[in-house]
Every structure is written in structure tokens, then in C-alpha cells.
Structure 1
């Protein structure tokens, strides 16, 4: 049966999908809840055998959004300014050899890339070059290279200070390796810190949370295999350990992220589901006092899938859940230990068991609300279904039906004649525009030119309705 699921997944992965709403728990064969499929690019289209990490870049010049996708043999760049029709712009090949592990972060319009490939070091790529790609896909070259370490498992950047931190390198016993990247194409090593143990991943923040003892300090929170380690790294020449904390049933302390108020730290353990038979376990620590962190609570998800990288946006926690794809938790009442599943998009249909196949990373920080999912399924772009309804005025007196629709749409008004109907894509591009002079309170409009997907229907410039075209 597992071979059958893998065959189905391989067939799905070889196809590029675009704009399919989540209806009755599925979108183009992918199980889902509260997230619509916008587009998808397979690994084969990017000429890679595997995918891993991801990040995003928004061009401040024109607001265009780009996805940066880690692959076994390099880093792919995808223009997602039209999320339904993404453009694979090309790839920056690996500096040395291929590797399962690659990680990328962004600072000052530059990408910083590390890998566990031997001798890889840190690649620096000027992202503004993506503005002028005339014949995609291109093969890019790096703009600078840092060789203060060879292989690294991960890279962390504090954009406030302009420092990058290689973690899981052969230097400083696997602790953070400090790199000044304030001049991106001239990175300068500034030492490092040997922590209690090998640091697999970390978050670094300029602290503004509830512990006034550390206000304004640069704080590193390391996920260090069997514990979480907090360090004050404000003074790079003299880092100061703050505290450590572990927990019951440690498998592999993998990666974590602060809530936006920096009061709670949300952690994923990568092998506890495998080692102990848990369903997906998310651990929450109270970091109100950085010198004395406390275990707060844990949440067990609905499947046995292994968890990987996770991030916080507002009152939601977005994380890659390997075989279960993107998983999103509602953490709005985290203080009272009330956590629930908000939604998901399963990029690895057919199995939700523990293991390392499926989604590796998610990137939920684009202004558009588009969310990148990366991993063994290649590149997937999704969006919260409910975000499409922000401008809808439910008591406007206008009704549209049928919905979903196919060829024609009826619009009925209980208040005033229908004078104009406009249809927009989810990125705000107007596709259809009808004007009426008969002062009718009901109109039938032709929509047979629309492809299947989600659209916004604006009526009389007064209200906007969400329309699904099948």
C-alpha cells in the first residue's frame, strides 16, 4: 500500500497545478482545510532530485514577491508576483557537491545559503539580479563566498543587527559562528560560541519581550539536540550563557520560534513521534523570565506525522509537518493552554505517518498572505481561504449564485439596480468588466472564459463576493 501512495505522490509531483479552491476537504487531490492551492512546481521542472528549505524575498522597488527554494543541487528562484502563474527563473548551483541539506535566509536584498555539502561555506547572491531575467530558467553565479567554515546545517540571520549565524558547523563545537553581513558581499567572521551542545537550529532576536533585564539585547535561542539554550550574544567577543531547559521524552530538539510578544517559545522535536509513538507534538515554553524558562504546555495533533520547521505570524503557528504537509495552529489563547488546529494543506497525500518524507519548510511572511511550502514535493504555494473574504460585506443586499459556478453567474440585488459587475483574480487583476443601463435588480453574466479557481466579484463598487469557478 505504501508503494501505491508513493506512486500516486510521484504522479502528482510531476504536474504543475494552479489555483484550485479547497472544497469538500480536497484541492486537486491534496487534502486541505482552510487553505486553497494557488500553484505548484515539481522537482523535475527544477532539475533536482530533492527539495528542502525555503525562504522569501520581496523587492522593495516594485513589491514583487519571490520564493527561494533549497534543492539538493542548488537554490531555485521563483517569481510569484502572479501566484497562479509562477515563473521558475533559474538556479544557483551548489558551491561544491549535492546534499540533502541546504538552508537559505535573506538580508538587505541578498540571499545567504549554506549546506552540509563538504567545503560549501556560505554563498551570497544579489537578489536584485532577479529583476532582469530575460530568458528563464537561468544558471546563476554567486556574488560572494564566505569560507570561514565548510559545511553548516543551518543559517540564522538577525536583520536588525546585520549578523548571520552559521549553526551546526565544524567550528565552535557546532555552536553559532558569527558573521558580520552588514556589507552583504563582504562578509566578515567575528568569532563564535561553543554552547552546551551542537546547535541544530536557532532563532536570534533583538529582545523586546517581558524580561526587562534583557531589553535591547541580542538573544540567541538554540535548539540543541536535547535541550533549548539561551545566550546573550550582544557582545560578540564575550557571549554570555543565560539558561537552558529540557523536557520529558526528548527525541531530537530540532527548531523553535518565539511568539510575537516574545513571551512563549514554540518548539518542535523531530523524532519524538518516531521514538515514542506520539501524534505530532508541539511543545510550548514560558520565557517570561529568560533566566528561568518554564515548560508551559504541549499540543498533540490529529496525525502521527513528524514535525519540522515552524514560524509564528500573529496568532497562528505555521509549520511543516512532513507527511501531513503544512499544518497551522491557532495560538490566540496560548496563555490559557488552549491550542487548536486551524487548518492544513497536505502536500504528501496518502500517508500521515511518522517519517521524513513530505514538507520540510514553510514561509508564511509575504505581505500578500501567500504561503510557500517546500520539500520532497517541490514548490507549492497556498493561501488561507478566509483571507479572500476580508472585503466581503455580508449585509450588502447582493446575492450571487450558483457558487461554485461554471459558465454563468446570477446576481440579485434587494436594494438597488445592478449597474456594474467586475471580476478580479486573487492577486487583484481585473479579468471581466460588465456595465448595465437597464436598471434591473437581477443580471446574468457570462463567466465561461474563466479558468477553474477562486475569484472576487465586485458589484456596483459597493461589495465584493468570493466566487469559486469549477
Structure 2
């Protein structure tokens, strides 16, 4: 188990300005509002460059924190929410984080040295969501204003440019946004309107409103296009939905949205003991849908429980199993990638599960961003994004800001990494030098695999420093 303590081996001054702002109550009486706490005032963290002292101590296993930007460093905000990521054609990587007063764009190509490149203001709200398509980012919020369209074509030059605000499709408030990159359609969910509001991204700078499905309130959704089987060529929405703002008859709605003028419901499925169907994601083979119920922990006293719904037959889904962390924290957002589930669970932080047995995932790593306790309250980690090609993972925390991690067992370039911290630095050079001219068989210090540690290994390692 790793324990990170922020200390102060050298002097660095952070100027932190307190800011105020009004709160748009998109959901009156929402427990997120009742549980709100002041932001953490710093310092943050950069690997190898400690920024201060007396910071919190984080418990973790299998994950290395490379950096952490506080809300003060992210546009001087008072509250965080969702996050997503963008990888430029150059390979450079960017975290996108929703905040109370807008959206921050942060370069994390070197995960130990994040840099804020742009902050785009928006309506004040505790709920903001963003997704990407082509070289554009699309931002929505419960605070209204429709869809903000941000051009990222010149992001490597430090530019994230707001080029459009789309207000077609009725009410301007939106809870979440989903994009099917295979079909090129964007879906607004929730807010002050039921269902899905659908936009064609043929011209990605100017999304065109083309239709809606309004049978039920949709809190969040994943939309995919099937390429084989009985639904080959069909575009299917997996919607966490219900009536009365999603809280009545809450469950999973599976909807055929191929024809935007003739949307067809395949089935409405209600899982066991439902409280609020919040969010979920398909397994990579699309056989299972892993679903978070946001309110079962606080209402029933259960531990963090994820439903595994078999959707191999779209017309007849069923709950195949459940799994739990054994903690009391609320599960919030999860994503699947490379045989793993990455789950943001509020007060118990990031939890990573291995899915070789998809019905009984095994926890292999965690990083707890809320050290005080694992109570079922709405504080701590809101979301996670695990899709960067480098293996970098980001997480957005309500009170603490943006975290940047890598798994110690995955996402590291072990060909060069000598100490298992997922970063190539002078420490790795020193460790290789200590093994100089020794013979070894399949050891990390023998970078080129020649059986002996020599100058070729050193040159290859040095050429990959800070990757």
C-alpha cells in the first residue's frame, strides 16, 4: 500500500484567491447540495516537486499519483464535477474537467507536470459534463446555455476556442452528454427535459438538432452501433432512466435510435431493489452492462454495489450478478477499458477491477481521494477517464480538483521504468547505472535484451526520460 504525504522539502509559494459564486440549484433538495463542503485550499502535488506541506494523506494500492491540481489552480473554482479526455493527432494528451463556473483544459502529456492551457466560462452550476468528437469538445450543464462547442484544432499551441453555442432542441439545461463516435451523433440527456435530444455532428462545429425520445427521463446513457448479430447496423442507446426525474420505475431502457424520426423502445428493464439508476457502461464485448445505482447505499445501508446486467439478448436483459467493494461509499461513474472497470466512488475514490471473470470482477487497485471515511455522502471523486493511449488516468474530485495517475501494473512502459513508478526519470538512470556491466536474464535493467547492461541500455533509457 502506498501512502502519499504532502511535505515541503523546498520553498514554493502558492497564491490562492478565494472566490465566491452563486449555486444554480438544478435539483432542489439534492443531497449533493446538502453534503457540499468547502474546497481544499492546497497545496497540490507534482511527482518529484512537492508544492507545500500539511496536505492530506492518501491511501492507495496499485496506482501512482503523478500530479494533482487543486480547484484554485483550475480557474480558481469552488467545486469540481465531471471529466473527460482528448488526445491530439500529435499524441499529446489533455484532461478536460468540469467546474462550477466553467471548464478547464489541462495538458497532461507529462503526467507529472500538468499545465492549465484554457478555462472556458459557463453558467454557474454543480453539474457540467463534456465529451469529445473529432477535434471538438461539447460541454453541457444544468445551468443552461445549451451546448458549448470548443475547437481543439490548435490545442497543442495552447488554444481551446469556444466557436459555437447551440440552443436548439428546447430547454437549454442538460444533465449529461453522450456521443456515439461510430455514428457521429450527440445525445443530450436529462436537465429540464425528459429523454434524449439528438444532434447530427456531420458539421461538428454546428450540431444539428434532428430528433428526440421523451418517454422517460434519462440521467445518463451510452450509445453504440452494432456491427454483427441480429442488431448489426442498428444504433442502440443504453439509458439509465425512469419517470419523475429518473427516480420512479428507475432502471435500464434499451432503445433503438437508428431512425431519429421513428425511435423504438426495445425494452425497459428494472434491476433488483432499485433506488436510482445513475450511470453504466458496456463490457468491451457488449455482453454485459455494468450499472451504478446512486442511492442504494445511503437509503438501504448496503455496501457499494454494481449490477451486472446481461444484455446479450437486448429484448431479454437480466441481472446476472452483482459485485461490491465491501465499503459504504456511493458508486457514481464507471468505464470499461482493456479488461478492467475504472469506477469513481465518491468517498472511497478510484477503484479498479479486473474482469477476466466478468460476473465477479476483482479489485486490483485503488486510490482514495477522501481520506476521512467511506460514508455514503456526496463528496470526493466524481468521475474518471481511463482512455489515454499512454496509460495515464485522470479523476475529478468535488473538493480537491484534478488527479493524474497511472497503474503500476498496467500503462507503464516497463521496458524503461526501473522502479515501477510509471515515470522515466533520473532515478531510473541511477538504478540502471548501479547494474552497469552486469549480466542478467530478462531483467528491466537490460533494456535492449542483450543479456548485459551496457551503454546501449543507458542511451535507450535516457532517450525516454519523462515519458
Q: TM-score when scaled to structure 2?
A: 0.78
Distance (whole Å) between structure 2 residues aligned to residue 238 and residue 456 of structure 1:
61
Structure 2 match to 1:262: 286
Shift of 1:339: 2.1
- Corresponding residue to 1:115 among 138, 141, 150: 141
Structure 1 match to 2:17: none
Distance (whole Å) between structure 2 residues aligned to residue 272 and residue 146 of structure 1:
36
The answer as to whether partners of 2:152 and 2:161 remain within 8 angstroms in 1 is: no
Structure 1 match to 2:259: 235
Question: Closer, same or farther in 2 for the Cα pair 1:273/1:208, shift >3 Å?
Answer: farther
Distance (whole Å) between structure 2 residues aligned to residue 184 and residue 441 of structure 1:
56
Distance (whole Å) between structure 1 residues aligned to residue 58 and residue 426 of structure 2:
26
Structure 2 match to 1:216: 233
- Aligned 1:9-88 pairs, distance under 5 A: 14-19=42-47, 29-46=57-74, 47-60=76-89, 62-88=90-116
Deviations 1:67-126 (A, max 9, x none): 0000000000000011101101120100xx3000000000011000000003x1000000
Shift of 1:28: 7.2
Shift of 1:235: 0.7
Question: Closer, same or farther in 2 for the Cα pair 1:388/1:297, shift >3 Å?
Answer: closer
- Corresponding residue to 2:154 among 114, 120, 129: 129
Shift of 1:253: 0.3
Distance (whole Å) between structure 2 residues aligned to residue 100 and residue 391 of structure 1:
40
SS of the counterpart of 1:103?
A: strand
Distance (whole Å) between structure 2 residues aligned to residue 243 and residue 427 of structure 1:
50
Question: Closer, same or farther in 2 for the Cα pair 1:177/1:383, shift >3 Å?
Answer: same
SS of the counterpart of 2:409?
A: helix
The answer as to whether partners of 1:278 and 1:300 remain within 8 angstroms in 2 is: no
Question: Closer, same or farther in 2 for the Cα pair 1:81/1:429, shift >3 Å?
Answer: farther
Structure 2 match to 1:387: 410
Shift of 1:432: 4.6
Q: Within the alignment, does 1:278 sit opposite 2:302 as a pair?
A: yes
Q: Which has the larger radius of gyration?
A: 1
Deviations 1:424-466 (A, max 9, x none): 9826899858999xx9649xxxxxxxxxxxx98954356999x
Distance (whole Å) between structure 1 residues aligned to residue 329 and residue 320 of structure 2:
23
Q: Within the alignment, does 1:200 sit opposite 2:219 as a pair?
A: yes
Structure 2 match to 1:356: 378
Structure 2 match to 1:298: 322
Consecutive unaligned residues in structure 2, runs of 5 or more: 1-34, 49-54, 448-452, 462-467
The answer as to whether partners of 1:287 and 1:294 remain within 8 angstroms in 2 is: yes
Distance (whole Å) between structure 2 residues aligned to residue 9 and residue 383 of structure 1:
28
Q: TM-score when scaled to structure 1?
A: 0.78
Question: Closer, same or farther in 2 for the Cα pair 1:14/1:287, shift >3 Å?
Answer: same
Distance (whole Å) between structure 2 residues aligned to residue 82 and residue 255 of structure 1:
30
The answer as to whether partners of 1:425 and 1:456 remain within 8 angstroms in 2 is: no
Consecutive unaligned residues in structure 1, runs of 5 or more: 1-5, 21-26, 395-399, 405-423, 443-454, 466-470
The answer as to whether partners of 1:83 and 1:427 remain within 8 angstroms in 2 is: no
- Aligned 1:327-406 pairs, distance under 5 A: 327-334=351-358, 337-376=359-398, 377-387=400-410, 391=414
Question: Closer, same or farther in 2 for the Cα pair 1:32/1:144, shift >3 Å?
Answer: same
Question: Closer, same or farther in 2 for the Cα pair 1:159/1:393, shift >3 Å?
Answer: closer
Shift of 1:45: 1.3
Distance (whole Å) between structure 2 residues aligned to residue 251 and residue 80 of structure 1:
37
Q: Which structure is higher in strand share?
A: 1
Q: Within the alignment, does 1:165 sit opposite 2:187 as a pair?
A: yes
Q: Number of aligned pairs?
A: 397
